[in-house]
Structures are given as C-alpha cells and as structure tokens.
Amino acid sequence: MRTVPLAISMGEPAGIGPDLILQIYAQRQARDIPAFIVYGNVEFLRARAERLGLMINIIASSPENAPRDFKTSLPVFDMGTGIIDSPAQPDAKGAQLVIDSIAKAVGDCQAGLCRAVVTAPLNKAELKKIGFKHPGHTEYLADLCAENGNVPTPIMMLAAESLRVVPLTIHVPLAKVPSMIKHDMIVENVTIIDRDLRTHFGIASPRIALTGLNPHAGEEGAFGLEDIEEIIPAIAELKSAGVDASGPYPADTAFHLPNWNRFDVVVAMYHDQALIPIKTVAFDHAVNVTLGLPIVRTSPDHGTAFDLAGKGNANATSMRAAINLAQKMSVSQ
C-alpha cells in the first residue's frame, strides 16, 4: 500500500522538467512508476501536455489525496499564477514558482506528508535575476532544512546502477581544491556518507573507497603531500570509528570497471575526478542524490535543456531513475 507519495518540484517551466514529468506520468503503468504529486501549476501543465500531444487528466490535489488520484489523474499541488507555456523563454513568474515549489515540497516532506523530494531542473541565471542567492539546488535545500539556524552539510552523490561517486569539493576553482582537502572535512563528510548509505540504501557496512588527490595518490609524497598528511590520517580515524573506509587509491585506476563492484561508493577529492568516470560510462542513467539532509532528495543529472523543451523528445531516463531511486531510498516511509 502506497500511502505517502513522492513530491516532485516542477522545475523551470521553460525547460524540459515539465515534459519529463508528463512523459513519465503517461508511462506510469507500463513502467510501474510510484505515486507522486507535482508541486507546480495546473493550467501550465495542461498547456504543456496539450503541446506534447499527451492525453493526461491533470488535477489540483494534495499529498493526502495524491496516491488515490495518481491512478487516473496527474495530481498537482497548485501554486503560482500566470505561468505561461513558452518553451525556452524563462521569465520571472516561472522563476518564482520554481523557488516556491521547492520550498513547499521540502516542507511537506519534512512534515511527513511526502516521502521524498525529486527536483526537476532549474535555471540558475533566471533565478538569480529575481534575487535567488544560492549557488544551486543543493545549498537551497540545505537552507530549507535548517533547524534553529543550524544548516545541515549537504553532500552531492551521483548514483548509477553500478557506481556511486561523491566529489568532496564541487564548484570551486581547481587551484582552491588542494587547500580544502583537510582531515576533519574528510572525516565529517565520509561519516555522513556512511550513515546515509546505511539508512537510505540498506547497506549494512558500506565499503567506502577514497581516491588520492594527486597523481598516483602522491606516490608516497613524490607528487604532493596532501594524500599523506590529510587523507591517510582521515581514513585511519574513520576506520577506528568503525567505518569501512579504504584508500587513498590512485584515481586513474580506482574507476577501472572491474573495481566498481568492490565498493559501495567512491569518494573523490574534486568535481572532475568524480564526474568524469560516471558521466563517461553512465551518462543518461546517473541520478544526483543529496546526502546529509533530514529528507531524501534526488534529481536527474542534467539541466533544463531549453533546446529540447516542449518538443516531446527529451530523454526521461535520468528523471525516471531519480524517481525510482527516491522511492527506494524512502522505503521505510
């Protein structure tokens, strides 16, 4: 019995997010899609469905009614006004809806009305224009989840069927990365990763591999000292706390395909080190998961793709994987 639905924030109206949601709802029976409610605008979604030629009944609903409604109609928590169906033409009203719908979806999830949040892509440039201060989804979600002023540490994980990766640093210049790789930061992050893999992925003792920062993990200090001074002691501390952490492994061999089954997650030191292997091999299938939050949150690993919006040929693989993974991660709900 599915009594608690997933919450999906509709994302940028001018992008492919609404298209993907509508396409996936249309396939709900063939693909056994779990019940969800969209945080967005009913009139807009009706117009987009018509543009795509999808015969879908779209109704205003609530988290409580969504599981029942989902069988026959796409349930929408109706927000926003004047949202125009204009693919590739973002505007301020759409941007405000994006911001508000994420907040409402997160709130309903924290209140136990929804089991997890799946976010469709947003357009940072458009959001910035109306005063959005966060670098992206992840930081906004962390802020929304703050309790008594304590903002949780969000951790981005990319998950494909056969590989999960976490970049310990993300959107920073490469020159700043080495000084950010510190013992305490590694321990804090890996401890959260370990906990969330236990609680949300049902892995009793997650096998966590860490890459080195430098080529060949520094080759015993020949190419940089961070591996010896920061990463190795952090792994030792994690081990003594009962975490099955190992490494640092040279990053160029850590992702060799036969190694993918040896670890439940590979924690890499920076953006490209983590994202090159997963995007090279699992471009369409990777799901973005935010660990470290009191709620479960996933999203597809792509952007708004304005050039494909409203055309009906956007690839729904990653969004569908995000929905299925959110359902699985929140199985105890």
Name the minimum Å distance from CB 250 to its own copies: 8
CA distance 105 to 111: 10
Q: Is 326 in contact with 35 (CB distance < 8 Å)? A: no
The contacts of residue 143 (CB under 8 Å, 6+ apart) are: 134, 151
- Residue closer to its own copies, measured from CB, 69 or 301: 301
At closest approach, how far in Å is the CB of 93 from its own copies?
26
* Nearer to its own copies (CB atom), residue 109 or residue 275: 275
Question: For residues 292 and 152, is the Cβ–Cβ distance under 8 A?
Answer: yes
Q: What is the C-alpha to C-alpha distance for residues 151 and 167, in angstroms, rounded to an integer? A: 20
Segment (H or E) for 185: helix 183-201
Dump strand ranges (E) for the chain: 6-9, 36-40, 58-60, 74-78, 117-119, 155-159, 164-167, 207-211, 244-249, 265-268, 287-291, 297-300
Beta carbon of residue 82, minimum distance to its own copies (angstroms, whole number): 31
- Interface residues toward its own copies, by CB under 8 A: 170-179, 213-216, 218-219, 222-226, 251-253, 255-258, 270-273, 275-277, 279-281, 283
Which is closer to its own copies, CB of 12 or CB of 85? 12
* Min CB(97)–its own copies separation in Å: 25
Q: How far is the CB of 266 from its own copies (least distance, A)?
A: 11
Nearer of residues 92 and 125 to its own copies, judged by Cβ: 125
Nearer to its own copies, 113 or 213 (CB): 213
